[in-house]
Chain A
Amino acid sequence: MAHTDQHQCHVLCRSCDLVVQKRALPSPVRALCPRCGTALYDTPYCSINGMLALCIAALIMFFPANLLPVLEIHFLGSIRNTTAFQAAIAVGDQGYWVVGVAVAISAVIAPLLLLSSILAQVCIAKFALHLELGKKTLRMLLKQQGLLSQLTMLEIYVLSFLVSAFQLSDFADVHMGMGTFCFTMLFLLLLFLQREYNLEHMWGLLDDN
């Protein structure tokens, strides 16, 4: 009995295993571990509909962002351009497949999987939480969430095509186009989506039912 009570009003720090008493927090405040400073919890709030909107917008943006060239150079009359995925393939073709795979996963595959996973989670939360299959799928998706969001590196990719543009402007004319714009928009949408998303809250959905 005593143990079940402790469950509710305590949290454990994931970094140092300290037992911390849980208190109610106002919404923009985050509780930090008093001993090691790790973020412990905040008021888990996320608007399911807002997430759905951001997620669909990001998925729509994903396709032009990856099909249109992110960078184009004009060099002595010849024009060359590349998308994120083609760039990964190009490095792989040179025999550096470790680099190619790393680039493809972090710039293309992981973001797509992350978006699809969040879309599926939101749909389950809205429509299928009462079904056993829905709960099972949600549990499976939530387990992968941490890994997927760590592998997604759109912010770094956006910075990297700016860096490449500056470096290449030494040799050739560099042009940015619709693809660059879409990629940047994709990055912004995902950024806001990840701000809205709260893993703790999503796990909480499984608790209540």
Chain B
Amino acid sequence: MTTSSSLDNQTQIQGMNKGLCLCKVCRKINLTSNGSCTRCHAPLATRNYASIGQSWALLITAVILLVLANIYPITLITNRGVVTNDTIFSGTVHLVKTGMIPIAIIVFTASVLVPWLKIIGLAIYLTAISFNLPVSKKKLMVGFHIIEWIGRWSMLDLFVISITVALVNMGQLLDAKPAPAATAFALVILLTQLAAKVLDTRLLWDRLEPQNDAK
């Protein structure tokens, strides 16, 4: 509630300090004292402090599953009686070998690059909040928006698997089946999306604030 004379402080007032709070459902400004949103009747909360813990938990589970998703085969292809297990990585390598470079780039981005980048990015983000690391908050926020946006593109891999499995199904001659990594990969997508959604990003801006303008 302190009204500082410095320009920096005046331009950077948090809604929380003014007794205002944004409804997280319909994004209407409300008085925190109202208790629930006047427009959509959802309960109001200035900050969700539990969200860091929840986000960490989801992220760690996702890391374990992502390792499994990369170790185990994701598809099982039978071609003229010969059975080959393809992992995510070997599938991409196979595409490069057959000369389909543009497709290989798309698949590599969706199934290798995006999930790993997302997990590393979220881990950096959460570490910065949890341990008050001196990192540029603005850059972290840009990274976070990118993570939120590209996360869904990993679904590409699962769509391709489902189409292939449905089409290629001719016994010993040619057959495609999903393999254990497919479930793990689906869960990685779900968990990382949830981890990003659950996290209350306003906490980042709170935690590093007191350092900057301590009395």
Q: Which residues of A contact B (CB under 8 A)?
A: 3, 6-7, 10-12, 14-19, 34-38, 70-71, 73, 75-76, 78, 80-82, 86-91, 94, 96, 98-100, 102-103, 106-107, 139, 142-143, 150, 153, 156-157, 159-161, 163-164, 166-168, 170-172, 200, 203, 206-207
Partner of B190, one of A96, A100, A102: A102
- Which of B54-62, B127-135, B158-166 forms part of the interface with chain A? B158-166
Q: Which residues of B contact A11 (CB under 8 A)?
A: 29
- Given the interface contacts A76-B173, A87-B166, A90-B169, does A164 sit within 8 Å of B142 by beta carbon? no
Q: Are B161 and A91 in contact (CB under 8 A)?
A: yes
Report, as a range, how many residues of chain B touch the other chain.
35 or more
Q: Are B156 and A156 in contact (CB under 8 A)?
A: yes
- Provide the main secondary structure of the chain B interface: helix
- Interface of chain B residues 21 through 50 with chain A (CB within 8 A): 21-22, 24-29, 31, 39-42
Q: Which residues of B contact A (CB under 8 A)?
A: 11-16, 18-22, 24-29, 31, 39-42, 79, 95, 98, 100, 103, 106-107, 137-138, 141-142, 144-145, 152-153, 155-156, 158-170, 173-174, 177-178, 182-183, 186-187, 189-190, 193, 201-202, 204-206
CA distance A65 to B24 in the complex (A): 35
Q: Which residues of A contact B155 (CB under 8 A)?
A: 102-103, 106, 153, 156, 160
Partner of B28, one of A90, A98, A143, A203: A203
CB distance from B1 to the nearest CB of A (A): 13
CA distance A89 to B162 in the complex (A): 9
Q: Are B152 and A153 in contact (CB under 8 A)?
A: yes
Q: Which residues of B contact A73 (CB under 8 A)?
A: 167-168
Q: Are B167 and A99 in contact (CB under 8 A)?
A: no
CA distance A86 to B166 in the complex (A): 7
Q: Which residues of A contact B204 (CB under 8 A)?
A: 16
5 A-B pairs whose Cβ atoms sit less than 8 Å apart in the complex = A16-B204, A19-B14, A37-B142, A163-B107, A203-B39
A-B pairs, top 8 by smallest CB distance, nearest first, are A160-B159, A82-B166, A90-B166, A16-B205, A87-B166, A87-B162, A12-B15, A36-B141
Q: Which residues of B contact A170 (CB under 8 A)?
A: 98
Q: Which residues of A contact B14 (CB under 8 A)?
A: 17-19
CB distance from B143 to the nearest CB of A (A): 11
Partner of A98, one of B20, B167, B169, B186: B186
- Given the interface contacts A16-B205, A18-B205, A37-B145, does A157 sit within 8 Å of B29 by beta carbon? no
CB distance from B198 to the nearest CB of A (A): 13
CA distance A53 to B170 in the complex (A): 43
- Given the interface contacts A76-B173, A98-B187, A107-B159, does A14 sit within 8 Å of B39 by beta carbon? no
Q: Are A157 and B159 in contact (CB under 8 A)?
A: yes
Q: Which residues of B contact A163 (CB under 8 A)?
A: 103, 106-107, 156, 160
Residue of B with least CB distance to A106: B155
CB distance from B169 to the nearest CB of A (A): 7
CA distance A18 to B15 in the complex (A): 6
Q: Which residues of A contact B141 (CB under 8 A)?
A: 15-16, 36-38
CB distance from B48 to the nearest CB of A (A): 12
